[in-house]
Structure 1
Amino acid sequence: MSPDAMITHFVGASALVLVAAHAAGWLARRLKQPYIVGQLSAGIALGPSLLGALAPDAHAALFPSEIGPALTGFAQFALVVFLFAVGYELDLKILGARARTSLTVALASFVVPMAAGCGGALLFRNQLHDLGMPRDPSPAMVVFAGVALSITAVPVLTAIVRENGLSRSVPGVVAVSAAGVLDAVCWTVLAAALMEGGGGGAALDWPWRAVLAVGFVTVMVLAARPVLRRLLWGTRMEPSLRLALLIGFALGSAWVTHSLGLHVIFGALLAGVVVPREEDGTLDPDLLRPLHDVSSLLLPFFFVVSGQSVALNNMDGTGWTVLLVVTVLAVATKIGSGTLAARLGGLDRHDARTVGVLLSARGLTELIALNAGLQAGLLSPPLYTVLVFMALATTLFTQPLLLLVRHLAERDRPAPPAFRTPPSPSGQDGTAPAAPAADVG
């Protein structure tokens, strides 16, 4: 394919990706589902599972292999910008007065799913072998299975909390703050798993990469953060120039972590975390707003690239069985552990159930982790397909389960006493006072 033809194909494919993904996101929101569910569904539909099966010639014409690197590049850029914004917004001070409860919920909703995922990877190794996994999985593969069940999607959870009017409620604050702590733990464990698993073919052994990674984090926190603070607060830099500088900083950080055998996601998150906030501790709207605009515009490319690796037509009976078991485990462990921990933290049973249901949403964060695991060789393509549909299913279930919890709370709420007008003792209502009842004793 000539360069001109490749550019033409890429422009046409980009038009389809943007229109289809955002239209599907709008439809999902109309159906009371998160916007991200529609975009992920569109990405899967444009892959080999639907478009490739129904119209293989059209799929090959729209997404030839020659434009794959360009689509992947756009997807990685969108991912870096999105996670840079996530890191910038991360603020564990939200724990506040509910710190102990939130930390308890975060710990429980990490440990229980992690144990279930690791145990399932060992107990069902024969079934997973039928999905292309080795019969004796490496420690990194086992740990990754646990992380896949432990992750909670903070952006999706935040959107669900906001759309359900829970932003200022006790369960909303506990769920969001616990999810922030939980994801910080999950990203750390995932980084260790990717290092031990080979990091996608990195030249250095994992101990050296771990040492270099610790050194890089130290430099970012101790050196980069003060420099950025002086640069951002000590100069009158135009917002557009500041945005370009910080996105370049995030891309450079992502390149370093990728060179260390990690994924670009870790560098992007770290860059967002070290960027200082305003002097009063608030977020800079001139930075945050365009970051959200750019990432929301380009994230459909990530969903399409992810969807190209989903092969639903290759799922057999074993695959569907594993999908059912994994989805049940993912929902039960999250809701059960989150609810129990919230109850122990002093929440009533309805608020505790709400916390557990909210923590079950996985969405985009799960998909990012799954892509990292697939690229590092910790997942086979069939198991990747299973886990992508698990992430989609758990996110879809969140809103109906929230409605169910709300219905149960309203049903159990005691009915208010019937209103009765008290009799007037002096006949002020225009009637004579009632005569005393006769004594029949």
Structure 2
Amino acid sequence: MNTTEIFLVAMLIILSVPYLVWRLGRTEYFAPLVVVQIVAGVLLGPGVLGAAFPAYYEFVFTPAVVQSLNGVAWWAVSLFIMLAGIELNLKDAWQARRESGVTAGFALLTPLVFGCVAAACLLPFEGWIGAKAQDWQFVLGVGMGCAVTALPILVLLMEKMGILGTPLGQRILRYASLDDIAIWSVLAIVLLDWQRVGRQAAFLLAFVVLGLLFRRLMQRVPSSDRWYLALIWLVACALGADWCGLHYMVGAFLAGVIIDADWFEREQLDAMRRIVLLVMMPVFFLSTGLRTSWGVGGAAVFLVAGWLLLASVSGKLLGVQFAGRVLGWPKGEASMVGWLLQTKALIEIIFANILLDKGVITSATFTALLLMAVTSTMLTVPVVNPKLQRWRANATPTG
């Protein structure tokens, strides 16, 4: 078989296996299709199915096919991150800045501290810190990985639970939006390259100047031209960020942040997100799975994943409990909000990919973070649904 045919075989596997598991296994309650796709990417990679059936792996995932899949994955994740940036609603967060700031602050800082402590405990052991990382970069990077909230997955889960358009759902989106800004800002600090600091300063200055011009242009062109111009802007920002040593994903996020969602119809934005998730992101999940490693021993990876999961979930829940007491929330609301905000999945995987690309973490740490992200996301709906029912019952007047 030639490379084209093998590539199509790989695509057939990528698209069919997760769908069949999701549909036939009826996993929707605890694992939406996107979570099944992430898990399938890991299972189809070299660490699991590739280790059990090396002949299958060598036949399907040849260097040429892997390179082609990586190209699709780079473009897919760039589009996805830009859309996540566009959907950040900072105007609403500013209008309710005290409540949003207090909640987002506690929801981010507490798991960040817990995660940094968990990461610091790994420093004495070999196989976890990346070859190009200083200790503080590893500790802060993994700590922030424990504090991540996946805004796109959060939207998907709240939509399924029927709370996305409610005041509660909009509040939670405000908290997650502020945390997203902080997470990417800290990531930029972790990735600072003092040998390229001049380039990075030049990129940020050019981004501000060109961003202002881009915003004026987008407001003046016909609505039919805006998506095309947004794609050009995305590529330019991603290229500039990668050139200066930050990362193309950081550039993609910055490209989306300065684009107003109001410039597009709501239906178009929702449709674009769904299309990217359906058509392109499964390739990114598979390419992520190809990067997993059990090199330091499978038991150790699972142990570290559990350690990071404990730091992440407990830190997020405790932080939101603090916020709830400060703001006087009703009983049980803080626990429900905390469980929703600990959802990680996509953004955590993207975050970990960047850390791996830059040599801040090893493949083993990447695998542990991936397992932590998947587990935390799968816990969300089964835990939140009963809490949501009790909250609705208490909020509904009787008699």
TM-score of the two chains, using structure 1 as the length reference: 0.82
Tell me the secondary structure at the aligned position of residue 126 of structure 1.
coil
Q: Are 1:257 and 2:247 matched, yes or no?
A: no
Could you tell me which runs of 5 or more consecutive residues in structure 1 were left unpaired when the two chains were aligned.
Answer: 197-203, 234-238, 418-441
Partner SS, residue 192 of structure 2: helix
Equivalent residue, structure 2, for 1:126? 124
Residues 285, 40 of structure 1: alpha-carbon distance in 2 compared, 3 angstrom cutoff: same
**Cα offset for 1:130?**
4.6
The CA distance in 1 between the partners of 2:388 and 2:227, in whole Å, is: 42
**Does structure 2 conserve the Cα–Cα contact (< 8 Å) formed by 1:154 and 1:179?**
yes
Corresponding residue for 1:421? none
Q: Identify which of 313, 316, 327 aligns with 1:334.
A: 316
- Corresponding residue to 1:147 among 136, 144, 151: 144
Which residue in the other structure is 2:192 paired with? 195
Structure 1 residues 200-349: aligned runs within 5 Å = 205-232=195-222, 239=224, 242-278=226-262, 283=265, 285-286=267-268, 289-312=271-294, 315-349=297-331
Determine the C-alpha separation between the residues in 2 that align with 1:135 and 1:371.
Answer: 15
Secondary structure at 1:31 match in 2: coil
Do 1:167 and 1:173's aligned partners in 2 also have CA atoms closer than 8 Å?
A: yes
Quick check: 2:133–2:359 contact (8 Å CA) kept in 1? no
Q: For the residues of structure 1 that align with 2:114 and 2:307, how far apart are their CA atoms?
A: 11
Partner of 2:113: 115
Higher relative contact order (CA 8 A, sep 6+): 2
Provide closer, same or farther for how the CA distance between residues 89 and 283 of structure 1 changes in structure 2, counting only shifts above 3 A.
farther
- Asked whether the equivalents of residues 75 and 305 of structure 1 are also in contact (C-alpha less than 8 Å), the reply is yes
In the alignment, structure 2 segments of 5+ residues that lack a partner are none
The structural deviation recorded for 1:257 is 1.0
Q: Quote the Cα distance in structure 1 between the aligned partners of 2:56 and 2:344.
A: 32
Separation (CA, whole Å) in 2 of partners of 1:410 and 1:89: 27
**Which residue in the other structure is 1:368 paired with?**
350
Task: Deviation per CA, 1:373-423: give whole Å up to 9, x if none.
Answer: 000000111111111100011101111221342466589899968xxxxxx
Higher Rg:
1
Counterpart residue number, 1:72: 70
Change in CA separation of 1:256 and 1:28 when aligned onto 2, cut-off 3 Å: farther
> How far apart are residue 29 of structure 1 and its match?
5.2
Q: Which has the higher helix share?
A: 2
- Pairwise CA RMSD of aligned residues? 2.8
Cα deviations across residues 107-132 of structure 1 (Å, max 9, x unaligned)? 111111122222232233223x2546
Q: Corresponding residue for 2:53?
A: 55
**Identity of counterpart residues, as a percentage?**
24
**How many pairs are equivalent?**
398
Deviations 1:115-156 (A, max 9, x none): 2222232233223x2546579943222221121111100011
* Corresponding position of 2:163: 166
1-structure distance, mates of 2:202, 2:326: 40
Q: Do the aligned partners of 1:101 and 1:342 also contact (CA within 8 Å) in 2?
A: no
What amino acid sits opposite 1:356 in the alignment? Answer: G
Amino acid at match of 1:254: A
| Superposed displacement of residue 42, structure 1 | 1.2
The 3 A distance-change label for structure 1 pair 405 and 288 is closer
Tell me, in whole angstroms, the C-alpha distance in 2 between the residues paired with 1:242 and 1:23.
Answer: 37
In 1: Cα distance, 2:277 partner to 2:84 partner: 11
Please report how far the alpha carbon of residue 254 of structure 1 lies from its aligned counterpart in structure 2 after TM superposition: 1.0
Decide whether the 8 Å contact of 1:85 with 1:291 is kept in 2. yes
Instruction: Decide whether the 8 Å contact of 1:85 with 1:288 is kept in 2.
Output: no
